Amino acid sequence: MRDADRDPAMTCPDGSSGTDAVPRGDAVVAETLRARSGRIAHRWAETALFQAVYRDRREAAVEAAHRLVDALAEVAETGCCADPRAAGFTRARPYLAEIAAARATVGATASQVGLEVAELCEPLAALVRDHADARAAVAELMGTLRLVAMEAGAC
């Protein structure tokens, strides 16, 4: 497809192709995030990151995790997993800033928040372990999420 024929809505903010060239791995990750959003959100709510922020408010932790799952599904659907300016990451920034601020009140640094965000990768990676392209897309998506979280914590 020529650049002149490409729909601008299907282009990542970094100028790379969007959904018109979504790699199969991104599509599998998006489908997995949508189909298993409840399961993933519940698993994430049990991680150190969400436990530290939401403590004994389990439902609030699950709700926050679910919002993050939805935002990441949006990123994966567009195929912009490596672009921190993708719309889904833009939607996730306020949630990540809230989490980073809560962690900062107890002395956590942006780097520590980044490490805690990295722990979110395993539950999702486990769901796509039989699909090599999807595992790579998860690594890319979650690596970019970690960057976005660290930026949110540094602000």
Percent of the chain's residues with pLDDT above 70: 84
Second-level CATH architecture of 22-154:
Orthogonal Bundle (1.10)
Contact 22, 136 (CB under 8 A): no
Report pLDDT digits (tens) over 30-54. 999 999 999 999 999 999 899 999 9
What pLDDT, on a 0 to 100 scale, did the predictor assign at position 56?
Answer: 83
Segment 129-136 mean pLDDT? 92
The one-character DSSP state at 47 is S
Q: Cα 25 vs. chain centroid, distance in angstroms?
A: 15
> Which stretches of the chain are DSSP H helices?
24-35, 37-45, 48-54, 58-78, 87-104, 110-118, 121-127, 132-154
Q: Label residue 21 by pLDDT band (50, 70, 90).
A: low
What pLDDT, on a 0 to 100 scale, did the predictor assign at position 1?
Answer: 32
82/155: higher pLDDT = 82
14/145: higher pLDDT = 145
Kindly report the average pLDDT of the chain as a whole number: 85
Contact 138, 40 (CB under 8 A): no
CA distance 114 to 112: 5
Phi, psi at 11, each rounded to 5°: -120, 135
The tokens describing 99, both together, are 């989490």
**pTM recorded for the entire structure:** 0.83
